[in-house]
Structures are given as structure tokens and as C-alpha cells.
Amino acid sequence: MRGALVTGHVDPGGPGQAAAESRDPELAIASSGLTKRFRGGQLAVDDLDLAVPKGSVYGFLGPNGSGKTTTIRMLLGLAFPTSGSAELLGVGVPDGVGRVLSRVGSLVEGPAFYPYLSGRDNLARYDAADRAASPRTSKARIGEALERVGLTAAAKKRYRHYSLGMKQRLAIAAGLLQPRDLIILDEPTNGLDPQGTREVRSLIRRIAADGITVFVSSHLLAEVEQTCSHVGVMRGGKLVFQGSLPELRRTGAARISVRTPDVEAAAKVLRKLGLVGLAPADGEISAELGDDAPEKICAELVHAGVGVRGLSVETPSLEDLFVGLTGEGFDVED
Amino acid sequence: MSKTETGMTADPGATGPGASTGPGAATGPGAATAATDPPPNQEISPDGGDAGIDGQAPASVRAYGRLLGSELRLVFGRRRNQLLLLVVALFPLLIGIALKIAAPSGAAGGGNGNANGPNNGSAFFNQLAGNGVFLTFIALTMLLILVLPVVVSVVSGDSVAGEAGHGTLRYLLTVPAGRTRLLSVKYLAIVAFATTAVFIVAIVALLAGVVMFPVGPVTLLSGTTVSLADGLLRVLGVTLYIAVAMAAVGAIGLAISTLTEHAIGAIAALMILVVGSEVADDVPQFAAAGPYLPTHWWPMFDSLLRSPVDTTTLWHGLASFVVYAVLFCLLAWARFTTADVTS
């Protein structure tokens, strides 16, 4: 499954290759060359090749205005792509939205309901719009969805009187009215207090535990880091990274640093092991770790008779990587 | 928006001093706040039930009925809209009372057969003292100028733009409700609401007329006297004719509503269009364009009040309404099914 992912910096490569990927049955969301140019000429989404594996919790990261919401709107058939194509659960969108969207729950740009209806009536309104929803089970399903987000007590309260967190949870309840295979959440914790954020996060975990693929966008890395198995990073309408979290970590060149009295000999061993970016200093040498295990390097050093006084691995935090990818940094630009 | 507001506040004056306070007070706050509405029913009525009783109906038809039921509950359950219907119901009563107080004595049977719109009112007034049935025609004639178009504008202008403004449109579409399906349900609900408003005017006016004025065989504008039953049949015909006219206005409103996410803008635009068309229709220099204006055929329902009935005019009018309805429904559809939902 992971093999289907485009790892590292996304190459806007051959469309043929991308098309082959989009037919992958293991992908919940696939797009190839998805592009949206607004009427004003602004390129909001630029040649996007998304690959969201089934069963993953995919964090769609990027600063505000990087094209996340526009992408989600195209995936859900709300906006029409200028070029390129996208598939949800193997069904092409926007042409197939009528068939596929009843299996997809979504929250786009904040909750939206009729302020003059109660929470329950609001859910009933959306349920009535669903061709695939059975009217017989409507009441039970609405009750269950409200229960799941903890809004049963407030079900008869008018939406206007809901707190922000309750509004958000009602929107998630609307996404859970039907059994879903995919949930798309756009900034689900936007504007929530820490308590609300935690509630939403645990809700995401519970949804994912049921085997549902979750696609969650955020401009906050911390949110994604705790819940997601995969990430896609957007910058200026382009996907600058896509892969699993460990893969993202690996792109941040972790450095191994060895404290030793014999820097010369240590450098020779490290070079022999194929490490690059050697930085010898006084009583210490560091190098890019790459895929090697640090304990193996340590063993090799000791084996070669190099005195090792200390050994450490320094990894840039995800925060550093994220900021680097999304452009505020200066060192990842290449 | 300032242009819009002057349009809204200036318009009620056109209906005459007696009527101006009513619609002005009702549409102003109602349309502007769109906020003071109770939930229609607390319980979710099993709307699929009636369709579900006969298991023969295909699932898609039943699902359509369910969405239509939901839309109708939304439109008719909203307090603002209920207030509009109440105002519409009060007008015939007020008109009846006013005319009762100022009733001209012994003017019955003044059948001056002038076909021009502006004179209808006075012709009807003369008939009223002799027959309460004519209160229906008087009320419909007066409310047709502004109040009924306002009612239809509010509901149709709000239909798509209101959903877009609340953001509920994007959730309906991702449910997925289906764009064409949703739009058709919206239009049916507009037609249902407009028809309800027209029938409320007719029925309240008829009841008030029966209570306040003598009732008997109806003397038509052409001077012929027909039986009361025949007269009531003509009342029904007139009511249906005006309902079709309002359905055409609703289609224009629906089309405008797909262009914006500001319901009040769509409502105002449609009102300006209606009033503009009425004014243009009164300018002699525009006479050639008159028959093509959306409001031109509205008062022609008086053709039903002559013997023989002027069917040519009636069919012209109905054809005009149907053409407007179809044209603007198509425009609404073309726009709604291709536009990005960005709200």
C-alpha cells in the first residue's frame, strides 16, 4: 500500500504514470494533474497528484490559502476542476458525485446549518436530501449520530444557540448519518478551544478505528502529527510532499554525531559506510544519517578501533520540516 | 445595496395609502433579518410514509418526494414566510372593510366594458356593492400590483441564495442532493408557496365578500348576468391564472437566486424587475415592447369576467407566463449545474 505512494518531493511527472496510480483500487482518493484556475487567473491548485491509501488517516497540510479547501471542493464536486481528474473510492468526480458521495461524509469550511432549526431537524433536513437514505431508519440513524458526537441532550435546541464546539460536532454528526467509507474534514478544529480540539481529535481516532479512511486538512501540524498516518503538504497550490509520517521524518536529514578523540579515523569509517555531509569538528564529527541504523554505525566504529565517547542522532522536528516545506524556512528550498 | 433599499421602501407606497403599511412592515424586517423563526415541527414527521405506503413507487421517486416534503416544510414552516401569508390574508379583509365603509350606493350593474387595466379597478368597485364575489377580483387586482410579487420574490429570491448564504448549499450538494434534483425541488416549493398565497387571497376575499356584501347571480363586466355557480367557477379560473403568473415570477426569482449568495440582493433585484416592468408597461412609448414584458398579461384575467370569455387574450397571457417560466428555469439550471459553489 505504501508502495503506491509518491514519496518525497512530488515530481510533476508523466501523466501516464499518474493515471495508472489513480486506478489503484487501494486508494480512497486519487487525483492526477488536478488543477484549478480561478476566473481572475489565479492558480489555486496546480497539477495535484493525490494518493490517499484506504484505511489511512491522511493529514492534508498547508498554510491558509495554499489550495487545500479548493482541492476539497473539487473532490466533493462543489467546484469544477480547470483540468485534471480525481477519483473518490474509485469513482470519477465530479461526474460520479451522485453515486459516490453517499459513501463520503464531509465537513467543508466549517459547519453550516439552518439557524432556525434544531440540531435534530437540521440532520433530518440533510438526511432527507440523500437519495440513498432510508426514511424508515432516519430517526434511529440521526439519534445514533447525535449520540456519537455527544449532542443527544442538545438535539432539540435550535442551532443558533449552539456553541462553536457543538456546531462543529453537529457537522461531524451529519457526516456520520450513513455508514461511510471515507470522511473528509476540512479544518475540523478551526476556532475550537483546546477542549474542543481534543474532542474532535478523539472523534477522528474513533472514526479511523472503525476502518474508515479519514482525510483531514489543517494548517496546524500538531493536530495532524497526533492522529495521522499519512500526510500531504501543500504550498502555493502544489503538493510538495506526500507520504507516511515516517517518510516525512526521513526527508528531514537526521544527523548522527560522534564524539571521539580520533576524528580522522572516524571520518574514514563513516565515509566507508557511505555517509555524506561529513562535518568534522574538534573532538566530534557529524554526518547525515540516511537509512543506516545508528547502532550499526557505532558497531562499525568500534570494530575499526575508533574510540567512541558519545553518539547521538539529531532529527529536525516535524515542525521544522513542515515550516521548511511550506516556505517560511530557508534551508529546504532547492 | 442603497439602491436596493430605496426600491424596497419606496414600493409599498404604490399600493395605495391603505395598503402601504402592511407590506412595508412585513417584508422589511422579515426579509432583512431572516432570523426569527421557530422550528416547524419538533418531531420529524415520517414524510416518506405517504409515498412509502404503496411499495410500488420506485425508490428514486420516493426519495424525491421526501426531499420535496423537507423543502416544503422548510418554506412553509419558516416564521417569516408564515408572516407573509398572514399579511396576504389580512389584505382582503382590510380592503373589504374599507369598501364597506365607503360603499357607493346603488352602483350595481355598471357594466362598462373597458378592457384597459387601470379601469378594471373602478369597474370592479361598481360591481362590488351588488355582489360580494367581486371582492375577490378587487383584492387580487390590488395585491397583484405589488404584494403578491413581493411574497413570491422573498421566497424565490431566498431559495438558492439563502442556502448559499447559510452555507447549507454545499452540505446539501455533498449529501449528495444532486444539483438538478435540488433545483427542481426548490422551484416546486416556490410554485407551491406562490399558489398558496394567491389562493389565500382569493378564499379570504370570497369569504369576506360573502359576509359583508350581498351575494347572488354575478353581473359580468360585459353586462351579462351569470349564475352564482358560474361566477364562482370564474373566480377559480382567475385565481389559477394569477397563480400561473406568479409561478413565472418565481422562475425569474429562482434564476436570479442562483447568481448570488445574498438572498436580500436577489429579492430586491426581482422586485426592481417587477416594478420596472410594470412602469415600462405604462409608458406609451414602450407600447410595442409591452406584450413581451413579464407583467403585461397579469391584469388580463378580466377576460374571464366577460361573456363570451376572451380566450385569445387568456391564452396569450398563459403562453407568456409559461415561456417566462421555462426560459428562466432553464437559465437557473444552466447556471446552477455549472457554477462552482464557493460559499
A272 in the same domain as A246: no
Tell me, yes or no, whether A323 lies in a domain: no
Mean pLDDT of B10-16: 36
How far is B291 from B10, CA to CA, in rounded Å? 26
The pLDDT of residue B126 is 67
Phi, psi of B233 (to 5 degrees): -60, -40
Q: Do A106 and B174 touch (CB under 8 A)?
A: yes
A81 in the same domain as A209: yes
Residues of chain B that touch chain A, judged by Cβ-Cβ distance less than 8 Å: 35-42, 44, 46-49, 52, 59-60, 62-63, 66-67, 69-70, 74, 78-79, 166-168, 170-178, 181-182, 338, 340-342
Is the confidence at residue B191, as pLDDT, over 80?
yes
A235 in the same domain as A88: yes
Domain boundary among A250, A284, A300: A250
- Higher pLDDT: B317 or A64? It is B317
CATH of the domain at A290: 3.30.70.100
Tell me, yes or no, whether B41 lies in a domain: no
Residue A257 is part of which domain span? 253-314
CA distances from B118 to A276, B123, B275, B276, B291 (A): 94, 10, 15, 17, 16
The C-alpha torsion from B155 through B159 and B163 to B165, rounded to 10°, is -70
DSSP summary character for residue B14: G
Residue A213 Rama label (left phi>0; alpha psi -120 to 50; beta): beta
Could you say which of A76, A114, A135 has the minimum Cβ distance to residue B168?
A114
Tell me, yes or no, whether B55 lies in a domain: no
Q: Which chain B residues touch A215 with a CB distance below 8 Å?
A: none
A36 in the same domain as A9: yes
Which of A225-239, B99-113, B247-261 is the least confident region? B99-113
Could you say which of B174, B182, B342 has the minimum Cβ distance to residue A101?
B174
Q: For chain A, list residues with pLDDT below 70.
A: 1-24, 328-334
Question: Please, which pLDDT band fits residue B55 given cuts at 50, 70 and 90?
Answer: low
Q: Do B62 and A135 touch (CB under 8 A)?
A: yes
Q: Do B166 and A129 touch (CB under 8 A)?
A: no
Q: Do B174 and A131 touch (CB under 8 A)?
A: no
Q: Do A121 and B44 touch (CB under 8 A)?
A: yes
Could you say which of A98, A116, A142 has the minimum Cβ distance to residue B78?
A116
A79 in the same domain as A26: yes
Number of domains present in the structure of chain B = 1
A42 in the same domain as A177: yes
A257 in the same domain as A221: no
Q: Do B47 and A135 touch (CB under 8 A)?
A: yes
Is the confidence at residue B24, as pLDDT, over 70?
no
Q: Which of A333, A259, A261 is nearest to A298 (CA)?
A: A259
Q: Do A102 and B175 touch (CB under 8 A)?
A: yes
Tell me, yes or no, whether B72 lies in a domain: no
Radius of gyration of chain B (CA): 21
A166 touches chain B (CB under 8 A): no
Tell me, yes or no, whether A14 lies in a domain: yes
Nearest Cα residue in chain B from A107: B171
Q: Which chain B residues touch A101 with a CB distance below 8 Å?
A: 174-176
Could you say which of A112, A116, A138 has the minimum Cβ distance to residue B44?
A138
A149 in the same domain as A53: yes
The pLDDT of residue B260 is 94
Q: Do B175 and A98 touch (CB under 8 A)?
A: no
Tell me, yes or no, whether A100 lies in a domain: yes
The C-alpha cell that represents B286 in the structure block: 414602450
Candidates A72, A125, A184, partner chain B, best to mutate (most B CBs within 10 A):
A125
Tell me, yes or no, whether B170 lies in a domain: yes
The pLDDT of residue A319 is 77
Could you say which of A128, A156, A160 has the minimum Cβ distance to residue B67?
A128
Q: Which chain B residues touch A96 with a CB distance below 8 Å?
A: none
Q: What angle do CA A132, A138, A140 make, to 5 degrees?
A: 135
Q: Which chain A residues touch B165 with a CB distance below 8 Å?
A: none
Which of B51-55, B76-80, B124-128 is the least confident region? B51-55
Q: Do A112 and B340 touch (CB under 8 A)?
A: no
Q: Quick one: CA dihedral A310, A315, A319, A320, positive or negative?
A: positive
CATH of the domain at A62: 3.40.50.300
A132 in the same domain as A24: yes
A115 touches chain B (CB under 8 A): yes
A217 in the same domain as A101: yes
The C-alpha cell that represents A240 in the structure block: 510538495
A207 touches chain B (CB under 8 A): no
CA distances from A99 to A41, A79, A89, A222 (A): 32, 17, 10, 35
Could you say which of B46, B341, B342 has the minimum Cβ distance to residue A135?
B46
What mean pLDDT value characterizes chain B? 80
Tell me, yes or no, whether A330 lies in a domain: no
Tell me, yes or no, whether B71 lies in a domain: no
Q: Which chain B residues touch A130 with a CB distance below 8 Å?
A: 63, 175-177
Shortest distance between the Cα of B55 and any Cα of chain A, in A, equals 13
Question: Please, which pLDDT band fits residue B129 given cuts at 50, 70 and 90?
Answer: low
Is the confidence at residue B234, as pLDDT, over 70?
yes
- Higher pLDDT: A172 or B201? It is B201
The pLDDT of residue B142 is 92
Shortest distance between the Cα of B163 and any Cα of chain A, in A, equals 8
The pLDDT of residue B224 is 85
Is the confidence at residue B115, as pLDDT, over 60?
no
Number of domains present in the structure of chain A = 2
Percent of all residues in chain B with a pLDDT value above 70, rounded to a whole number = 75
A130 touches chain B (CB under 8 A): yes
Give the per-residue SS3 of A91-118: EEECCCHHHHHHHEEEECCCCCCCCCCE
Helix, strand, coil percentages (3-state) for chain B, rounded to 5, are 75, 0, 25
For A:95-114, CB contacts with B below 8 A are 97-98, 101-102, 104, 106, 108-114
Is the confidence at residue B23, as pLDDT, over 50?
no
- Per residue in B264-277, pLDDT (tens digit) is 999 999 999 999 99
The pLDDT of residue A246 is 84
Domain boundary among A250, A276, A299: A250
Mean pLDDT of B295-320: 90
Residue B196 is part of which domain span? 2-32+78-336
